[in-house]
Chains A and B, each alone.
Chain A
């Protein structure tokens, strides 16, 4: 499909953009940010904030860049005197009723009102001696507070619920400067995807109760990650404050999740902060568990892995491709049955976005696991446990019944983030990192391989499971050398046809030969 391109000049920079683009998108391509509030790339544009007014040559009036389509030869001045003056006027209007309570506002530091005010606004207000509009804070839903005093009525939240979630529970109520965002009397803002209105809100008007007053955003460290909650593989950012994960937010990826994540994924981070982690390798010596160093533990691992007899590998749904692949290689040559644990839930789509839903399969790397030979379903793998001479538990959360079966196996190796007291006779408990502490690759349901990066440091001596497995593998025979980095660990996996971390970038890549190139 060929896309017709038009040539436009924005602040002196000429760019080619697809016909039908709007000026704000074309400006972005030219490296010019047009200040805006109501415009959002994942929402319809109502052109109401009037912040993106720009001067277009031959147009009698300033035009809103968010709804003005580019035309061939168009010349746009974003930073002309006239346009800057108009936007300064809009900013002044937006601020007259804004409380300026930035010191106690969660949005402060990532607030578009602050940003554009510092960039283009006036130093002093002329709105003196009048009281500001006041409305009390409202509780909109299970995680959302509405602070109407800070609201600039950009209506992004209204449009998200109406046009994207297709559950139009929010609307502008009243007229004039009495207007506010109101929730339908009989409704709560508890849609599975409703939390996105907090991210969409350009100011501190819609707040997450979970994040309320938890941290100042300029103190946060951010890591690009992938939501481990289901097979959708939404791109997200893990925000940490001093090594503590404080919130998860969507990271834009137009191919996967646009600008959104579901509330289930958003809320599921407390396990990342668990304090009861395994911090040192534990070995079983004469019925006594003792902590040891990696040298001894890896020697034991190599010995156990090299023995004969059938093996069952039980993996949790958050295990990376690197960990899954190297665990398989560790026991290569033996009869192996491997399965990934896939908790089931209800599928909840985001109505207006094609191919985006909270999926029923609640394991991020189910499809990566399939590529790497984890084929059997969980119950049939459990059925093999009784006959197995070695069971490797890769950070799976076992039911009591499953744990009893595994405990009865002759040899058990746990690669674990937390100890399982029901498996106290395990020969080895090897401390591994959680997905928040390592880098790795998940493959989502569309066979898109996506990287995630570490957000916090690993506790104690914990190492990524691929490192543990590959070190054990290297000790198993002469001449083997273990990968030194995650990138090498990934590149060594046959299932990915020589793809590298660099190829994947931070938005991932759909595997071309994924179905054909499965390594068994």
Chain B
């Protein structure tokens, strides 16, 4: 089969996934929440920054609370309910009947579920940031991109885990519950390791930074600030170390998705 003749079935699977994931007005509701949320949450924690670079990093960090959670909800809904329910109800058989490899079908589904959601989220947020702080966004685009990369890796990791659970259990609802529990568990763990780090035990903090690398990047930008528990010398990584943590976190994300592909390709049992 030629590449051109493969392209059409791929687009048909992608188009079907898009129709299923983004029925009117789901896309519009999320677009509104991203645009509105960007302005509502931007900058509230970044006003004390003493340099434009730290301000740029802080500004993006303020957007990784509620708006990022909204992105996660959309991704989980697409992955768990979209793909998970397709498997649960057997409608995935129709997609697998296309003259495409299984992994190509999964790619088309993920491109719709993850790719379009991320494109919408990042497109709106970067546009809003440019409106809000045109000079900072232009001058420190590298810092902004790096902060987004650091924040998104944990979301992608959770999306990957939800996908894997949906594939293994073949139940979308259960995968969604696992995702929500995982999100809150990681929030609690991040608070715990931060507390431990301030009290002198830094190893859990560094280990956790492998799946939540923004902790390392944040320490690099904010530096040796004062501790809520008095004077402390909390670990401050170098820039290359912070980059290393971001890179390592994406390697973990890539491994999870690779596992999903291998399972979907060889062990799904459909």
Chains A and B belong together in one complex: no
Contact residues of A with B, CB < 8 Å? none
